[in-house]
C-alpha cells in the first residue's frame, strides 16, 4: 500500500497486477504482490530511496521493506517503433530483451494469460480488465493472450507456467493453448538451465507435485526437463519407476500440507533415481563393485542433467550421498551398520530406502531391519549384526524359532 500510494502521490499511475489479483478473487492469500506503473525504472528509483533496479532482460525495480520486497514494473509496450526502449527477439521467436514501455492497455496485451492480466486500481477500488480475464476467471479457464504458438515461442517457460497455474487453481487449459504444448515442448531445451531449476522448484514444491507430474508427462514436458528419467518411465518394465516417483512426490505434498520442510535434494534424488539405479545395476552385472558403480553413475547422471537443469552443487552433492549409501545399507554384518548410523546423511538415505521398499523396488525386510536396528538396545544391535546374520534371518528370529525340517527316508 505504501508503494501504491507513494507512486500515486508522485502523480504516477499505480496498480496491483497479476497473480495477487487473480488469487485474491479466488479467496487465496497471495504470496507476493506485484505493482505496475507508468513510471520508468529510474523514475521509480527517484521516488523510493529503498529501491534497487535489477534485470537486463526485463528491467524491474525492487522496493525493499526490511526482508520484504515489492516488485514494481513499468507498463510494457507492444513495439518500439517510436524509438523508446529496447526489445530484442531471437530467430526462434524467443524474446531476449524487452524494455519497451507503453500504456496500461498495451501492458495487458503483453502479459501471458488472461487471468494474469487483471489490474486492481486503488483510485476507485475496481478491477480493470482489457482481455476478458474476468470471464475466464469465472469459468476456470487458462487462456493465453494472443496467438498460442507465437506466445509459447516468445517464452517457452509459459508452457510450464500453464501447467503450474492449471493444477494450482484447478483451471482447465484452453484447448487452443493445450494443443500446441506437446509440439513445442522441445523449445525448453534452449532455456537457460538456472531458470529451469527455479521453475521445477515452483512446479513440484508447491503442494501439488503429483498432479503436476501427471500433467507434465501428459504434455510431453517432463521429458524435456528430465530426459533420462522419462526414458526409464516410458519402459516401465516392472512398474517400479512410476510407482516410486509417484510415491516420492506424494510424500512431498503431504509434508508441505503439514507445514513441514521439504529438501530439494531429496526431491531431485527421487526424480533421477531410476536412471542412476538402472545404469549402476548394469555396471554391477558387468563385474563392477556396487559402491563404486553407484559413485561413478551418480556423477555421470548429474553431469548430464545439469546441462538441462542447473541443480546447485550443494544439492547435487547431497543427492549423490543418498544414492551411494543405498548399496551400503545392504551390508548389515559386523561394525558397518554402527558406522552408517553416524553418517550425516544416514537418515535421508534410510528414508529413501523405506520409500523404495514401500513401492516394491527394495527388500521390505531390509528396511524393516534398519527400522528395528535404530531403536534397539546395544545388546540387540550386536545380535542383529552378528556375523552370518541377514535381514531375513534377523526377522525370523524376532518371530520365533524355526520349525524343524521334516525329511523323508528314501
Secondary structure (DSSP) of 171-225 = -EE-HHHHTTHHHHGGGGGGS-HHHHHHHHHHHHSSS-HHHHHHHHHHTT-HHHH
Q: Closest by alpha carbon to 44, among 96, 2, 91, 6?
A: 6
The 3-state DSSP composition of the chain as helix, strand, coil percent (nearest 5) reads: 55, 10, 30
Residue 10, C-alpha cell as written in the block: 508522485
Q: How far apart are CA 339 and CA 333, in angstroms?
A: 11
Secondary structure (DSSP) of 122-168 = TTTTEEEESSSHHHHHHHTEE-BSS-HHHHHHH-THHHHHHHHHHHH
Give the residues across from 36 on adjacent strands. 15, 73
The catalytically annotated residue of 38, 98, 112, 136 is: 112
Q: How far apart are CA 54 and CA 176, in angstroms?
A: 35
> Which ranges of 27-64 does DSSP label H, i.e. alpha helix?
41-47
Within its chain, how far is the Cα of 368 from the centroid?
31
Residue 24, C-alpha cell as written in the block: 485474491
Residue 247, C-alpha cell as written in the block: 510415491
The catalytically annotated residue of 34, 98, 136, 253 is: 34
DSSP 11: T
DSSP 56: S
Clarify whether 112 is annotated catalytic: yes
Clarify whether 34 is annotated catalytic: yes
The three-state secondary structure class of 360 is coil
Active site residues: 32, 34, 112
Amino acid at each position: 500500500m505504501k508503494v501504491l500510494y507513494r507512486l500515486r502521490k508522485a502523480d504516477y499511475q499505480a496498480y496491483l497486477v497479476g497473480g495477487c489479483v487473480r488469487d485474491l478473487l479466488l479467496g487465496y492469500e497471495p504470496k507476493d504482490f506485484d505493482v505496475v506503473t507508468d513510471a520508468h525504472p529510474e523514475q521509480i528509483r527517484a521516488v523510493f530511496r529503498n529501491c534497487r533496479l535489477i534485470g537486463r532482460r526485463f528491467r524491474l525495480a525492487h522496493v525493499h521493506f526490511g526482508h520484504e520486497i515489492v516488485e514494481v514494473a513499468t507498463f510494457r509496450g507492444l513495439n518500439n517503433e517510436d524509438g523508446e526502449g529496447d526489445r530484442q527477439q531471437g530467430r526462434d521467436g524467443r524474446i531476449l530483451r524487452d524494455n519497451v514501455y507503453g500504456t496500461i492497455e498495451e501492458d495487458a496485451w503483453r502479459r501471458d494469460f488472461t487471468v494474469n492480466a487483471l489490474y486492481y486500481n486503488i483510485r476507485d477500488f475496481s478491477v480493470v480488465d482489457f482481455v476478458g480475464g474476468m470471464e475466464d476467471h469465472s469459468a476456470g479457464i487458462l487462456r493465453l493472450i494472443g496467438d498460442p504458438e507465437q506466445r509459447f515461442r516468445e517464452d517457452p517457460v509459459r508452457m510450464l507456467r500453464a501447467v503450474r497455474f492449471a493444477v494450482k487453481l484447478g483451471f482447465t487449459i484452453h484447448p487452443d493453448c493445450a494443443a500446441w504444448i506437446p509440439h513445442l515442448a522441445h523449445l525448453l531445451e534452449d532455456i537457460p538451465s538456472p531458470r529451469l531449476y527455479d521453475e521445477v522448484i515452483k512446479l513440484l514444491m508447491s503442494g501439488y507435485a503429483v498432479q503436476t507430474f501427471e500433467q507434465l508427462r501428459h504434455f510431453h514436458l517432463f521429458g524435456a526437463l528430465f530426459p533420462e528419467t522419462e526414458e526409464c518411465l516410458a519402459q516401465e518394465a516392472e512398474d517400479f519407476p512410476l510407482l516410486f516417483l509417484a510415491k516420492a512426490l506424494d510424500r512431498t505434498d503431504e509434508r508441505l500440507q503439514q507445514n513441514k520442510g521439504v529438501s530439494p535434494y531429496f526431491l531431485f534424488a527421487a526424480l533421477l533415481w531410476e536412471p542412476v539405479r538402472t545404469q549402476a545395476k548394469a555396471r554391477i552385472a558387468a563385474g563392477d563393485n556396487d559402491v563404486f558403480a553407484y559413485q561413478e553413475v551418480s556423477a555421470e547422471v548429474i553431469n548430464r542433467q545439469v546441462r538441462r537443469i542447473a541443480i546447485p552443487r550443494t544439492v547435487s552433492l547431497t543427492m549423490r550421498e543418498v544414492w551411494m549409501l543405498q548399496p551400503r545399507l545392504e551390508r548389515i554384518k559386523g561394525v558397518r551398520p554402527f558406522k552408517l548410523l553416524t553418517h550425516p546423511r544416514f537418515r535421508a538415505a534410510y528414508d529413501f530406502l523405506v520409500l523404495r521398499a514401500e513401492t516394491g523396488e527394495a527388500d521390505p525386510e531390509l528396511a524393516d531391519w534398519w527400522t528395528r536396528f535404530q531403536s534397539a538396545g546395544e545388546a540387540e544391535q550386536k545380535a542383529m549384526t552378528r556375523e552370518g546374520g541377514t535381514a531375513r534371518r534377523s526377522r525370523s528370529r524376532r518371530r520365533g524359532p524355526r520349525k524343524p525340517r521334516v525329511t523323508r527316508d528314501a
